[in-house]
Amino acid sequence: MSDMKNERVANSQWKKATLWASAIVLVLILGMALLVIFTGPKKEPAPVAGSPAPSTGAATTPPAEEGCNVPVGDTSSTPKMPDDLRWEAKDGWTWPVSDTYGPTQREGEFGVCYTRTAMGAALMMVNANTAMNTVGFKEAVKQYILDSPGRDVLLAKPDESNEPISYSGFIVDSFTPDNAQVTLVFSTPDTSTGFTGLPLSFRWVDGDWKQVLLDDGSMFRGQAIEPQRGDFVEWTGTNG
């Protein structure tokens, strides 16, 4: 009888211990669940100032482009002439300029900062050609021509100047924000139409247009064209 009584007491104590252990485990589980609910998912620590933020794999906004940052304006193939287009004159040369499309700034005697449009490229070209003949040939080449073997060929030549020409307009052959093909048209008595067109290439570099030359220093490959009035966008504006 004594052994059976001791066995009942032992079993009773074991059951109590088991119940207490189960209760403790249940409390721990509930506590962990409440902790997860009220604290939420773990957040990544904020990056320290001056250190790069962790990559998320998403595309980032490119940095602001260096350069003149002139508002773009009309990018069509037959752009409307700006209301502020006017003509400037020097040493028998006259050429169009625009406070809107360019040049919008100056570096010494050179007009710079043109809109990222075909008209901006055309305005850069007439200003560049005029500067080569009125300011300084090599200085203008360094300013307006893309650094290339073709530019080196021009810089190796002696300075030269030409008789003034009459700028008539331009033709947009093709245009992207980075590259433009524009035919510069000027009047001449040497063609059947009275106009000559030179197909030129330009590239957007460091926030402005630069003329692209062939490696031998030529402005274009092939022959000049003879456009008629109506085939090109004409420069129209007031005298400066």
Q: How far apart are CA 143 and CA 163, in angstroms?
A: 21
Helix, strand, coil shares, percent, the chain, to 5: 30, 25, 45
DSSP-derived secondary structure for 125-152: HHHHHHHHHHT-HHHHHHHHBPSSHHHH
Q: Report pLDDT for 59.
A: 30
Asked if residues 226 and 195 have their Cβ atoms less than 8 Å apart, the reply is yes
Q: How far apart are CA 190 and CA 171, in angstroms?
A: 20
Reading the block at residue 115, the tokens are 């809109």
Q: How far apart are CA 77 and CA 49, in angstroms?
A: 47
Note down pLDDT in tens along the chain; length 240 residues.
444 333 333 344 434 434 333 433 333 333 443 333 334 444 444 433 333 333 333 333 333 345 687 888 888 889 999 999 999 999 999 999 999 999 999 999 999 999 999 999 999 999 999 999 999 999 999 999 999 999 999 999 988 778 999 999 999 999 999 999 999 999 999 999 999 999 999 999 999 999 999 999 999 988 999 999 999 999 996 665
Q: What is the DSSP letter of 67?
A: S
pTM: predicted TM-score of the whole model, two decimal places: 0.72
Q: Report pLDDT for 33.
A: 39
Residue 148 buriedness (CB in 10 A; 0-12 / 13-18 / 19+): middle
